[in-house]
Structure 1
Amino acid sequence: MTKNDEQLSEMGKMVVLPSSFTGGLCYMHERTQDAMTYVRHFGRPEKWQEIVNLLVQGQKSHDRHDIIAKIFHVKVKHMMKLLTNGCIFGKTKCYMYTVEWQKSGLHHIHIFVWLKEKIRLKSIDNVISAKLPDPDLDPALYEIIKTYMIHGLCGSLNTSYPCMFDGTCTKKYPRPFLKETQTGEDGFSNIVDDLPKMVE
């Protein structure tokens, strides 16, 4: 057998990429273990029916992290298609997003969308506002939002909350409730909301 006839599988040497290599096997295994730690501590997240439908008999969703990741990816792509091709906020010039993991073990995305026509400050309130769903009309959604999307209680109400440092919330809560959206010099938008009457 000449050198040109050697099997490719027998050439070179095996290299195991460390967990610092984003997207590698060790990286994904480490992130999975992190996620499972959060699940054990905070409880199991809700299951998407799309995931349940793809499991074979006897499998649980935590057995198939590949399915979870793929369905999340499909949902992200669908949402980006709605934002861009669907022109929900108007025609887009370009966009970018990044996927991050929450402390609860769930992943989420941060999205930047550049519009051909900017949404001016006066029209922001027609596009987005912060409101809790009616607990009588949609109790399940109300509980999800209340559990996963509201910061606090911190500040003087709970000085031992994880966000607290030197007696102050590092996330700058509580923020003032406003009747109109304001954009600060730091680029952070304080959005109109009706949370106080529903949270208290």
Structure 2
Amino acid sequence: METQNLEQGKRKRDVVSVREYYCYKLQMRNDDEDEILHTRRLFQQYSVDEYIKLETQRLDFGSFNQDLFRMSVLQGLLYVLRLGERDASNVGKQTFLPNSFIGGPRDMRQHYMDVIALVQHFGKPDLFITMTCNSSWMEIKEHLSSSDEAQNRPDLISRAFRAKIEELKTDILKRNIFGKVAAFMYTVEFQKRGLPHAHFLIILSNEQKLLTTEAYDDIIRAELPDSNREPNLHKLVLKHMMHGLCGILNPINCCMKKGCCKFKYPQKFVDQTSKGNDLYPIYRRRNTGEVVHVRGKDLYNLGLFIQSIFTWKIQLSHKY
């Protein structure tokens, strides 16, 4: 094997990177009980410390190898001015991170310019999709030991969420569950409780554009499904897609600002979908008179229930 590598002009490595080493250490194995994975908050501290070590190594590489990231004099001056530097004595003393450093100024600016270019070429996005990690996913719960909690296993959370993201991308881009996609973009963020969520912007091809209210209703709902025809979907929406309780039922909820919900719930009942004045659709929320039990309260049809349902995608709620 070594001879073959030499013949192909490939140098065999005898070292591993910091990232590769800790990725290996954090792997779950059936025949190897690694105690560090089950030390709860200590494992969280361990994960943060090792990532800081990895990021410091990347920063040091960028700092000590500035000659590898040369730029023209004009470009360098413009970049310094963009940062707000006005002292000529400081020009030339700046350390610039390459765009390969994830999360750095150049990396973020490059992603921003890419997104702007996509919108300029293909038009405004048609769908906005948010996927939030659920610590009760079976893929997470079945890999937790009796002493583990999901919040103390960021490695497991991240692996399960990434697998879900890749499956969602396959559904949208290859299986075309919303139609042919012309362009897409997404970002992954982390909540204060440690669970990640992703925001997708989908630009559909011209022949798949949502041009009628019926097209919106075929993909997006903002009301409860029929409990007789779709009992499982009905339970999922009640469990995961309800906002609140807020308003007069819970005036101290975190979403309440100056006596009103900052997310504008509850919203008005409407019999059919229409386009709003701000170009956002006003989704159909019909008054059905249904009574449901949500978070310990019986909600009657008093303008407090159906109006508080998040918009949800029919095809995705079943699967994810």
* TM-score using structure 1 length: 0.63
In 1, Cα distance between the equivalents of 2:257 and 2:250?
12
Describe how 1:38-77 pairs up with structure 2 within 5 A.
47-54=136-143, 60=148, 62=150, 64-77=153-166
Aligned to 2:260: 168
Q: Is contact 1:130-1:194 (8 Å) kept?
A: no
Once the two structures are TM-superposed, the CA of residue 164 in structure 1 deviates from its matched residue by 1.8
Q: Is contact 2:135-2:141 (8 Å) kept?
A: no
1:25 and 2:18 matched: no
Once the two structures are TM-superposed, the CA of residue 84 in structure 1 deviates from its matched residue by 1.3
Aligned to 1:85: 174
Aligned to 1:180: 272
- Give the match's secondary structure for 1:197: coil
* TM-score using structure 2 length: 0.42
Out of 230, 244, 258, the residue aligned to residue 152 of structure 1 is 244
Larger radius of gyration: 2
Identical residues among aligned pairs (%): 33
In 2, Cα distance between the equivalents of 1:191 and 1:139?
22
Moved more, 71-80 or 187-196: 187-196
Out of 93, 96, 109, the residue aligned to residue 185 of structure 2 is 96
Once the two structures are TM-superposed, the CA of residue 94 in structure 1 deviates from its matched residue by 0.9
Once the two structures are TM-superposed, the CA of residue 112 in structure 1 deviates from its matched residue by 0.6
Deviation string 1:114-171 (CA, Å, 9 cap, x unpaired) is 0112111332112221343555787776555334421123234433222222222211
Moved more, 80-89 or 178-187: 178-187
Change (3 A) 1:162 1:67: closer
Letter in 2 for 1:60: D
Which consecutive residues of structure 1, in runs of 5 or more, have no partner in the other structure?
A: 1-7, 9-23, 30-44
Aligned to 2:224: 132
Which consecutive residues of structure 2, in runs of 5 or more, have no partner in the other structure?
A: 1-14, 16-46, 53-133, 291-298, 301-320
In 1, Cα distance between the equivalents of 2:259 and 2:229?
38
Change (3 A) 1:111 1:52: same
Change (3 A) 1:174 1:26: farther
Deviation string 1:87-124 (CA, Å, 9 cap, x unpaired) is 11111111111223456654322211101121113321
1:193 and 2:282 matched: no
Once the two structures are TM-superposed, the CA of residue 196 in structure 1 deviates from its matched residue by 5.8
Change (3 A) 1:71 1:128: same
RMSD over aligned Cα, in angstroms?
3.6
Letter in 2 for 1:25: V
Letter in 2 for 1:95: F
Out of 121, 129, 152, the residue aligned to residue 212 of structure 2 is 121
